């Protein structure tokens, strides 16, 4: 149904497009007809025409001119450009010209059967090519006009009725050829315009789809990293692409990788941790865990946005954000404190509704930060500085349900909040070592955006201590059933918050939802305007893209592209030219008196044209494109078909411009030459004089030319002259004189059917053919033609040479207008599609850059899921049964990091860390490590996992488990190798400490404002502890992981029982490597 609607819509646009083009041609025809009528009147006046003696023709021409001018100016108004009015105007024009034609040729003056058939031919051709009429109506009118003309010619002719049947047949074939040519022009134009409309729509739809994809990618990108970082990265990528296009030397490359980090001073950093969330999360299913985290952190994102804070990252159940970047804000400390208080209120609502002993512990510090992204893959916006580390310790040294601030933050608040002594040094050694004075915010009675009836964090009903007191120190979720009820209540409670799903801001735009309508509207906006002729002329003369005379593009490369376009319609050109030549041959055969020359010129020409037809219509190879694809080829691409298809002649002709031009010139030459050979074969004057023994002295001192050119009809010996004509020439020869001109007309039409050939080249050939024809009848065979035309046709003062030249000139102008309009339309379509293609390439470039960035932020399967299924409502999550998780940290990097003026306040120290992470990321490009997914970096800690294969959540085989664990261990050893190499180059002593564990995990995407892919579970927590309680230059693993590794051939050394924070005492192992410390 949708497809049918699109077809209907496209048909409507196409009809509008065609009607406007037809109206433009119709206006050109009216202007030409008016100009031709005026020119003929001027010629008659200059030739000394006697208006008094023959006023009928002049009156007819004047009335016709006035009607044409009135119609021309009326058609300029938009009201008359509607289809029904345009059809009415066309019928009025046809009626006017038909009445004028019949009155002036068949009624006003005596006629002969072959006279004025040229005028009927031009009228029929114009009806089918220049009038905005339906095809059936145009054909019906043309047939009617032809029949009326033939009947009047047969019954009203007063002379030369010998061989009337042959004359009528020749005239019928001639008029039929005009109908064929007109219908051909119309149908080819219809096909070209329909193909253009469809091709343009496809191009636009493709561009709009790309634009929508680019917008979605852009939104996805900006939902993860800030806009200014994304813009800087894009600019860097585009510069690199430009350098690559210019073949920049490798020596110009910088030694260090790009680092997108900026320093921001005077900001406030907030760290928040959900207390007692880990025991609760262990009771949640994968979907409930992801949904709970998303709702919690989604709510926090909403609070952050309301308080002008930017969330930086989510680490497990830890949430931290910054206020004062990227835009500096004087109230950054206020924003962070207000946000902290609202976060406590939000978690209190969960606690009261569910009975879950969960709370928020919040720490805030004010200072300076370095913010940006590090590495090459899986970017996550982060902040670094000593002040960030202090804010982290403020959270760990804080109290549940309280906002813990430093002295710097307290001074920035300007006593807007009531505080009390924090004593953070008693709960955190870092604060004690650095002698940091801390404070606790005393919440106001009416918190911002909160419910005043809610108890404060220090009230009896809300404090952590009071809860413990009411439960005798035992958590309310102590038993399994209680835990399940609590987790269920918590899930249901936070659902009512209505936090946005990840990437909720990435929605289908109106363009994406209505791609068809959007493309149609864009096509309509670029259709030829309903303007008048004068506006079109002004637009043509002022065009910046094309030469107004030649229509060539001013840009040479564009002109070359246009000329080199494949011409899939060339076979139709050759076929139609052959049919028209056959019509011309039939006309010559019906009117011929000597067959030797006719056969000698016609047979070779027909054979040559048939050969061209065969070569052009040779079947294409099966590997080639279908006809439909060929039709769209020139609209969608400038690339030629594959070389292996070019062995077929038709493909060679279609795709080779010079070969098409050569075939056109050969075909046009033989057709035009064949039409002129008959003139040369006409009876020569000397031969006739010898046969009749009549000399020019018979006419006294005047030559035959002077007598027939005499303007005085009373002095002209008309009757005596005609008796001389009958003595010198047989009627069987004279009656066919007009058909010599008919052959020339058909030849000119045959030249014009090659639509995509340069219209100027066709104009030159047509002018040369007409000039040779006029020369032959004016000089070589003048008397023979003068004898026939020596009668009163209403304009006896105009020489027959001028009349012949005038008719040929009118036909050439008519064909030139049609050719020029076809060329102009074709070039305009090409120019528009070329501009669309350039825009599409730009969109594709930006889309490619966005794709590169997205691959550096999210796993490919995650990004594709959200880009391709924008209507999904479920949160993305997957549970894996066997995933190997690695944490690799550089503990002694903290000793290297320092903030002073020498290293630009820590920026240069961060640059070295960026180099380390970049080199780590490069290892992921190796095929061996293709199954490893980088999760994130946390300061100087590198987190990765193997086995995160989307869709494969089933139980893995033992061999697959071994492979998952082995590859992560090999990757850890490779990291140590890379770090050792960096140490040698930078003269440092960095050591890597690695912790690895394997088991089930839950993967998913959480966060509405800045969605983040992460993994959760006990496996991740233990892997993190394997790192934190490990040893430098060693890889520490759990007992289960060690067993798998030993089964795979790795040497493991038992470390023994090791205390692991939060897990108690575990038996751990070290994997032996070449980096183990020597005993």
Closest by CA to 900, choosing from 368, 371, 391, is: 368
Peptide linkage before 326 cis (omega within 30 of 0): yes
Closest by CA to 800, choosing from 782, 824, 819, is: 782
Q: Is 1025 noted as a catalytic residue in this protein?
A: yes
d(CA 874, CA 883): 23
Q: Which of 847, 936, 1025, 1055 is catalytic?
A: 1025
* Long-range Cβ pairs for the range 166-172 (8 Å, 24+): 166/590, 166/591, 167/113, 167/114, 167/591, 167/735, 167/736, 168/113, 169/590, 170/114, 170/586, 170/587, 170/590, 170/591, 170/736, 170/739, 170/742, 171/113, 171/114, 171/117, 172/146
d(CA 863, CA 216): 10
d(CA 122, CA 107): 20
Q: Where are the beta strands (DSSP E) in 156-278?
A: 260-275
d(CA 366, CA 129): 80
d(CA 507, CA 218): 12
Please list the alpha-helical segments (H only) found in 617-737: 627-636, 649-655, 657-680, 685-692, 704-708, 718-728, 731-734
Phi, psi of 907 (to 5 degrees): -65, -40
Contact yes or no for 58/49 (Cβ under 8 A): yes
Beta bridge partners of 310: 322
Alpha-carbon dihedral 172, 174, 180, 186, rounded to 10 degrees: -120
User: Distance of alpha carbon 251 from its chain centroid, rounded?
Assistant: 36
Beta bridge partners of 1066: 1058
Contact yes or no for 976/871 (Cβ under 8 A): no
**Non-local CB neighbours of 216 within 8 Å, separated by 6+ positions:** 506, 508, 512, 867, 870
d(CA 67, CA 74): 10
217: exposed, middle or buried (Cβ count in 10 Å: 0-12, 13-18, 19+): buried
d(CA 371, CA 112): 97
Q: Give just the sign of the alpha carbon dihedral 48, 54, 57, 58.
A: positive
Closest by CA to 539, choosing from 824, 243, 920, 223, is: 824
**Non-local CB neighbours of 35 within 8 Å, separated by 6+ positions:** none
Alpha-carbon dihedral 611, 615, 616, 618, rounded to 10 degrees: 130
Contact yes or no for 1026/970 (Cβ under 8 A): no
Q: Is 993 noted as a catalytic residue in this protein?
A: no
Indicate the DSSP class of residue 106: I
Element (H, E) at 486: helix 480-495
Closest by CA to 1009, choosing from 308, 336, 340, is: 308
Buried b / exposed e along 614-625 (16+ C-beta atoms within 10 A) = ebbeeebeeebb
Q: Which of 469, 513, 726, 1061 is catalytic?
A: 1061
1063: exposed, middle or buried (Cβ count in 10 Å: 0-12, 13-18, 19+): middle
Contact yes or no for 64/100 (Cβ under 8 A): yes
d(CA 258, CA 243): 15
Q: Which residues are catalytic?
A: 1025, 1061
């Amino acid at each position: 149904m949708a497809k049918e609607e699109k077809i209907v819509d496209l048909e409507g646009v196409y009809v509008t497009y065609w009607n406007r083009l037809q109206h433009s041609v119709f206006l050109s025809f009216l202007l030409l007809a008016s100009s031709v009528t005026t020119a003929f009147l001027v010629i008659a006046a200059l030739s000394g025409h006697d208006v008094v003696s023959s006023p009928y023709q002049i009156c007819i021409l004047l009335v016709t001119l006035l009607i044409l001018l009135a119609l021309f100016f009326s058609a300029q108004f938009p009201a008359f450009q509607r289809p029904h009015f345009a059809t009415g105007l066309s019928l009025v024009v046809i009626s006017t010209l038909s009445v004028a034609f019949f009155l002036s040729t068949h009624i006003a003056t005596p006629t002969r059967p072959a006279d004025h058939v040229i005028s009927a031919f031009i009228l029929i051709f114009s009806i089918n090519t220049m009038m905005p009429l339906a095809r059936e109506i145009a054909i019906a009118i043309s047939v009617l006009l032809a029949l009326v003309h033939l009947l009047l010619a047969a019954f009203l002719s007063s002379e030369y009725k010998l061989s009337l049947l042959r004359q009528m047949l020749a005239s019928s074939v001639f008029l039929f050829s005009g109908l064929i040519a007109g219908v051909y022009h119309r149908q080819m134009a219809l096909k070209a315009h329909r193909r253009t409309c469809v091709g343009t729509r496809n191009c636009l739809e493709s561009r709009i789809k790309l634009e929508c994809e680019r917008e979605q990618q852009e939104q996805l990108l900006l939902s993860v990293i800030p806009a200014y970082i994304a813009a800087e990265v894009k600019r860097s990528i585009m510069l690199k692409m430009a350098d690559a296009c210019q073949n920049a030397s490798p020596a110009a490359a910088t030694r260090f990788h790009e680092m997108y980090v900026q320093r921001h001073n005077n900001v406030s950093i907030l760290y928040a941790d959900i207390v007692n969330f880990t025991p609760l999360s262990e009771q949640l299913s994968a979907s409930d865990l992801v949904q709970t985290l998303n709702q919690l952190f989604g709510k926090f994102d909403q609070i952050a946005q309301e308080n002008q804070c930017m969330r930086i990252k989510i680490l497990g159940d830890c949430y931290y954000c910054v206020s004062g970047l990227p835009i500096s804000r004087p109230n950054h400390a206020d924003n962070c404190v207000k946000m902290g208080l609202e976060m406590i209120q939000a978690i209190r609502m969960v606690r009261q509704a569910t009975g879950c002993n969960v709370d928020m512990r919040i720490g805030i510090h004010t200072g300076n930060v370095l913010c940006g992204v590090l590495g090459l893959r899986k970017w996550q916006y982060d902040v670094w500085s000593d002040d960030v580390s202090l804010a982290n310790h403020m959270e760990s040294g804080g109290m549940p349900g309280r906002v813990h601030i430093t002295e710097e933050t307290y001074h920035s608040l300007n006593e807007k909040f009531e505080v009390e002594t924090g004593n953070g040094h008693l709960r955190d050694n870092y604060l004690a070592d650095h002698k940091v004075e801390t404070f606790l915010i005393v919440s106001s009675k009416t918190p911002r955006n909160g419910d005043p009836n809610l108890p404060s964090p220090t009230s009896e009903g809300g404090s952590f201590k009071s809860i413990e007191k009411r439960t005798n120190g035992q958590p309310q979720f102590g038993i399994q059933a209680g835990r399940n009820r609590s987790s269920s209540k918590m899930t249901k409670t936070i659902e009512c918050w209505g936090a946005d799903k990840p990437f909720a801001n990435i929605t289908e735009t109106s363009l994406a939802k209505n791609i068809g309508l959007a493309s149609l509207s864009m096509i309509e906006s670029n259709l030829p305007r309903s303007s008048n002729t004068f506006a079109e002329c002004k637009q043509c003369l002022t065009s910046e893209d094309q030469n107004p005379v030649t229509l060539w593009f001013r840009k040479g490369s564009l002109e070359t592209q246009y000329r080199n376009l494949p011409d899939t319609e060339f076979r139709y050109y050759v076929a139609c030219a052959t049919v028209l030549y056959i019509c011309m041959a039939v006309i010559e055969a019906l009117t011929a008196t000597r067959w030797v020359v006719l056969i000698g010129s016609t047979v070779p020409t027909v054979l040559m044209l048939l050969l061209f037809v065969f070569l052009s219509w040779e079947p294409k190879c099966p590997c080639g494109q279908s006809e439909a694809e060929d039709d769209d080829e020139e609209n969608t691409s400038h690339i030629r078909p594959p070389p292996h298809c070019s062995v077929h002649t038709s493909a060679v002709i279609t795709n080779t411009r010079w070969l098409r031009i050569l075939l056109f010139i050969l075909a046009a030459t033989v057709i035009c030459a064949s039409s002129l050979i008959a003139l040369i074969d006409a009876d020569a004057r000397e031969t006739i004089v010898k046969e009749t023994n009549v000399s020019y002295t018979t006419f006294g001192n005047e030559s035959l030319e002077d007598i027939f050119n005499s303007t005085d009809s009373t002095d002209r010996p008309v009757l005596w002259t005609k008796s001389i004509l009958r003595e010198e020439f047989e009627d069987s020869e004279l009656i066919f004189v007009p058909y010599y001109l008919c052959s020339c007309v058909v030849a000119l039409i045959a030249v014009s059917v090659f639509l995509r050939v340069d219209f100027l080249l066709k104009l030159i050939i047509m002018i040369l053919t007409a000039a040779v024809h006029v020369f032959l009848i004016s000089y070589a065979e003048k008397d023979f033609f003068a004898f026939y035309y020596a009668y009163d046709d209403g304009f006896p003062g105009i020489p027959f040479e001028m009349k012949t030249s005038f008719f040929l000139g009118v036909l050439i102008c008519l064909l030139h207008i049609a050719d020029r309009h076809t060329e102009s339309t074709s070039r305009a379509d090409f120019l528009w599609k070329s501009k669309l293609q350039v825009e599409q390439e730009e969109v594709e470039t930006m889309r490619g850059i966005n794709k590169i960035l997205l691959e550096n932020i999210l796993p490919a399967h995650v990004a594709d899921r959200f880009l391709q299924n924008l209507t999904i409502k479920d949160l993305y999550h997957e549970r894996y049964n066997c995933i190997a998780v690695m944490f690799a940290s550089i503990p002694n990097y903290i000793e290297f990091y320092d903030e002073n003026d020498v290293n630009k306040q820590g920026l240069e120290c961060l640059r070295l860390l960026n180099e380390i992470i970049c080199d780590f990321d490069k290892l992921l490009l190796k095929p061996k490590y293709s199954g490893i997914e980088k999760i994130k970096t946390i300061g100087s800690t590198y987190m990765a996992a193997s086995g995160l294969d989307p869709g494969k959540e089933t139980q893995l085989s033992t061999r697959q488990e071994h492979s998952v664990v082995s590859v992560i261990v090999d990757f850890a050893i490779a990291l140590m190798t890379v770090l050792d190499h960096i140490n040698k180059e930078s003269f440092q002593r960095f050591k890597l400490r690695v912790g690895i564990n394997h088991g089930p995990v839950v993967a998913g995407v959480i966060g509405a404002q800045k969605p983040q892919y992460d993994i959760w579970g006990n496996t991740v927590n233990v892997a993190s502890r394997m790192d934190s309680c490990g040893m430098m230059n060693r890889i520490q693993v759990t007992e289960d992981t060690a067993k798998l590794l030993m089964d795979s051939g790795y040497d493991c050394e038992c470390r023994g029982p090791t205390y692991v924070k939060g897990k108690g005492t575990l038996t751990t192992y070290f994997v032996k490597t070449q980096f183990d410390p020597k005993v």
